[in-house]
Amino acid sequence: MDKKIGIIGYGSMGKMIFAKFIEAKIVPEINIYLSNRTYDKISNLNNVFPQINICKNNIDTAKNADILFICVKPLEMKSVLMEIIKDLKNDCHIISITANVLFKQIEKICVNKKISKVIPSVTAEINQSVTLVGHNNYVNNSDKNTLKALLECFGTVVEISETEMGMGTELTSCMPGFIGAMFKVITAEAEKHTSLDRKEIIDMIINTVYGTGKLLLEKEITFEQLISRVATKGGITEEGTKIIETQMPNIVNELFEKTLEKRKITTEKVQRDFDI
């Protein structure tokens, strides 16, 4: 791809996006421009990637980018946009990686600009991400296809509306954290009922979860079909699934209520910041 790619922010997601583009060789190193608030964090990258453009400020990244990934926290977005807006190329495609900053907010500064949201997941590290994408009205089909081609090195790309980005993020980007927390609890509780050591328990769980995921995907079976194959009527597994089906809905409902409320609060804080 001959597009010049800018990345502002070298935190967890910015670092992953940079690494995936390099690993996939989808963008020549010489076409990547990178900046970070703390310059020392990226200053030595040329020792490993001699051709990438390490920029000392965000303006140098922005003015060279055809596609610009802004990988900063929601409440940092306005200040970054204000810093770079005068130096953006007229046709620059701006990419935000947060669901909490709305298109209408970004458009207050980036008037008549192409803006997309991209919500990746940590599972992109193994090419198994479900990456969510949404676009404002200035993004045309060619822009969409170019961005999708870039993001397919992460895994599957799914386009959804901005109004569904919140729940979509919970189901994809946040879900590895939820799954990790759930199996952390299961591991701790299992230890109380067995002489198996912690590592053995964790290995059993991880490999079973991995195999279950593959089975669901490759055989295209539903959750209900999976349960019926394992939880035979009157059997041991059925007792366990009854507990999950009766008690877990309350936990999951509270989880989504809390996370979506937190997302709403963050979005409102960003709104106030953009209104100043």
Q: Helix, strand or coil for residue 5?
A: strand
114-119 and 129-135 strand pairing: antiparallel
Q: Token pair 């996370």 is at which residue?
A: 259
CA distances from 46 to 15, 82, 258 (A): 14, 28, 42
Amino acid letter, residue 251: I
Give me the mean pLDDT over the 72-77 stretch.
94
Please give the full DSSP string across 227-264, using - where no structure is assigned.
Answer: HHHHS-TTSHHHHHHHHHHHHHHHHHHHHHHHHHHHHH
In the structure, what pLDDT confidence band is assigned to residue 276 with cuts at 50, 70 and 90?
low
Label residue 25 exposed, middle or buried (CB < 10 Å: 0-12, 13-18, 19+): exposed
Q: Helix, strand or coil for residue 160?
A: coil
Give me the mean pLDDT over the 233-241 stretch.
94
**Which domains occur in the chain, in start order?**
5-161 (3.40.50.720), 175-271 (1.10.3730)
Express each pLDDT in 146-169 by its tens digit. Answer: 999 999 999 999 999 999 999 999
Residues 231, 68: Cα–Cα separation, whole Å: 49
Q: Is 275 a residue whose pLDDT tops 90?
A: no
% pLDDT > 70, the chain: 100
Model pLDDT, residue 1: 78
Label residue 17 exposed, middle or buried (CB < 10 Å: 0-12, 13-18, 19+): buried
Please give the full DSSP string across 7-64, using - where no structure is assigned.
Answer: EE--SHHHHHHHHHHHHHT-S-GGGEEEE-SSGGGTTTGGGT-TTSEE-SSHHHHHHH
Give me the mean pLDDT over the 213-231 stretch.
95
Amino acid letter, residue 95: I
Model pLDDT, residue 143: 97
Express each pLDDT in 4-37 by its tens digit. Answer: 999 999 999 999 999 999 999 999 999 999 999 9
Please give the torsion angle defined by the CA atoms of residues 49, 53, 55 and 60, in that order, rounded to the nearest 10 degrees.
-160
Amino acid letter, residue 75: L
Express each pLDDT in 78-133 by its tens digit. Answer: 999 999 999 999 999 999 999 999 999 999 999 999 999 999 999 999 999 999 99
Express each pLDDT in 168-206 by its tens digit. Answer: 999 999 999 999 999 999 999 999 999 999 999 999 999
